[in-house]
Amino acid sequence: MPKAYWIARVDVHDQETYKKYVEANGAAFAKYKAKFLARGGKSEVLEAPGRARNVVIEFASMEDALACYHSPEYTAAKVFRQQASTGEFILVEGL
C-alpha cells in the first residue's frame, strides 16, 4: 500500500493563534502515526509564488491521511490554522 503525504504551503498572519494550532494538532498526528518530513525549515522558491512556511507530513496510507484530516482531533485543531493563516493544503499518494 503506498504512503500518502499532506503538503501544506502557508503564510501565517497570527502567530499566537497558529501556536494554538500546533499545540492542538499533536493528538491527531500521534493517533495516525504521522511523520513530519519537513516542517517550516529553509526553503527556496524556484517557480511560482511561494509561501513562508512549507510542511510535508507522511502517513502509512491515503486512508490514514484522510482519517486524520477528518478526525475530531484534527477538526478541532484546524479551526486555529484557518484563523491564523492562508495557504494551500493538499493530499498526495506516494509511489
Q: How far apart are CA 81 and CA 56, in angstroms?
A: 16
In total, the chain counts a number of residues equal to: 95
Fold of 4-43+50-93: Alpha-Beta Plaits (3.30.70)
Give the torsion sign (CA, 24, 28, 31, 33). Answer: negative
pLDDT of residue 26: 96
The pLDDT confidence band at residue 92, using thresholds 50, 70 and 90, is very high
Give the residue with greater pLDDT, 40 vs 25: 25
- Report the side by side order of strands in the sheet with 35-39: 35-39, 53-59, 4-12, 85-93
Model pTM greater than 0.85?
A: yes
Residue with cell 486512508: 63
Residue-wise pLDDT tens digits, 29-70: 999 999 999 998 999 999 989 999 999 999 999 999 999 999
Segments making up each domain of the chain, as ranges: 4-43+50-93
Partners of residue 90 on adjacent β-strands? 7
